[in-house]
Chains A and B, each alone.
Chain A
Amino acid sequence: MNVILPRGVSKERFAAATSAMRKVVGDHWVILDPNPLIAGYMDTYSAAPESSTAASAAVCPASVEEVQEVVKVANQHRIPIWSISTGKNFAYGGPAPRTAGQVVLDLRRMNRVIEVNTDLGYAIVEPGVGYVDFYNYMKRHKLPYWIDCAANGMGGVMGNTLDHGVGYTAYGDHLLMQCGMEVVLADGSLMRTGMGALPGGSPSWPLYKYGYGPYIDGLFTQSNFGVVTKIGLWLMPEPPAFRPFMVQLQNEDDLYQVTELLRPLKINMIIPNAAITVHLLWEASVWTTKHEWKTGSGALPPRTLRQIAEKFNLGMWNFYAALYGLPEVVEANWQIIESTFRSIKGAKIYREEDRKDDPSFNYRVRLMRGEPNLTEFSLMNWVGGGGHINFSPISPASGADAMKQFQMIRKACEKFGFDYIGEFVIGWREQHHILMLMFNRYDADESRRAHDCFAQLINDAAAEGYGEYRTNLHFMDQIAGTYGANDGALLRMQRHIKRALDPAGILAPGKNGIWPLGEPPETNS
Chain B
Amino acid sequence: MVHRRELLKAGAGLVLAAPIRIPLRLLTGIASAPSEAPDVIAETGIASASELIAAAQANARHARAVDIDSTILIRRLSEAWATRPRPLFGMTRSDVALLVEAIARDHGMAVVYRGWHDHRAAGEIHHVLYGNPDVIAIVQREFSSAGTGFGKVLGRHVIELASLGARPASINFTVDTAARPPRQARFVTWAVAPARPAMVV
Contact = CB atoms under 8 A, between A and B. Distances in A.
A385 interface: yes
B111 interface: yes
Interface of A: 1, 3, 15, 18, 22, 27-37, 39-41, 44-45, 86-88, 90, 94-95, 108, 132, 153-154, 289, 291-292, 295-296, 372-375, 377-381, 383-386, 440, 442
Given A154-B102, A385-B116, A31 B198 contact: yes
Contacts of A18: 200-201
Contacts of B200: 18, 22, 27, 30, 32, 35
Interchain residue pairs A-B with the least CB separation, the first 5: A384-B186, A36-B110, A40-B105, A35-B199, A377-B95
A29 B95 contact: no
Nearest to B164: A36
B172 to A, nearest CB: 7
Contact of A154 (B99, B185, B188, B198): B99
Interface of B: 29-30, 70-71, 74-75, 78, 93-95, 97-99, 101-106, 108, 110-112, 116, 118, 120-121, 128, 164, 167-168, 172, 181, 183-188, 195-201
A384 B105 contact: no
Given A384-B186, A386-B94, A40 B99 contact: no
Identify which of B97, B101, B164, B181 gathers the most chain A CB atoms within 10 Å of its CB: B101
Given A384-B186, A385-B186, A29 B116 contact: no
Nearest to A383: B186
Contacts of A291: 181, 185-186
Contacts of B103: 154
Contacts of A442: 116, 118, 128, 172
B30 A37 contact: no
A29 B195 contact: no
A377 B164 contact: no
Interface centre among A31, A36, A289, A384 (most CB of B within 10 A): A36
B133 to A, nearest CB: 14
B94 A37 contact: no
Contacts of A1: 167
Contacts of A292: 183
A15 B201 contact: yes
A440 B185 CA distance: 13
Given A34-B30, A384-B118, A385-B116, A87 B105 contact: yes
A385 B128 CA distance: 11
A499 to B, nearest CB: 32
Contacts of A90: 98, 102
Contacts of B198: 27-31, 35, 37
B91 to A, nearest CB: 13
B46 to A, nearest CB: 11
Given A27-B197, A386-B95, A440-B118, 4 more contacts: A33-B201, A39-B111, A40-B105, A132-B75
Nearest to B170: A442
A248 B58 CA distance: 50
- Of A28, A45, A377, chain B has the most CB atoms within 10 Å of the CB of A377
A377 B97 contact: no
A295 B94 contact: no
Most buried by A among B93, B183, B197: B93
Contacts of B105: 37, 40-41, 87, 95
Given A37-B108, A154-B99, A442-B116, A32 B199 contact: yes
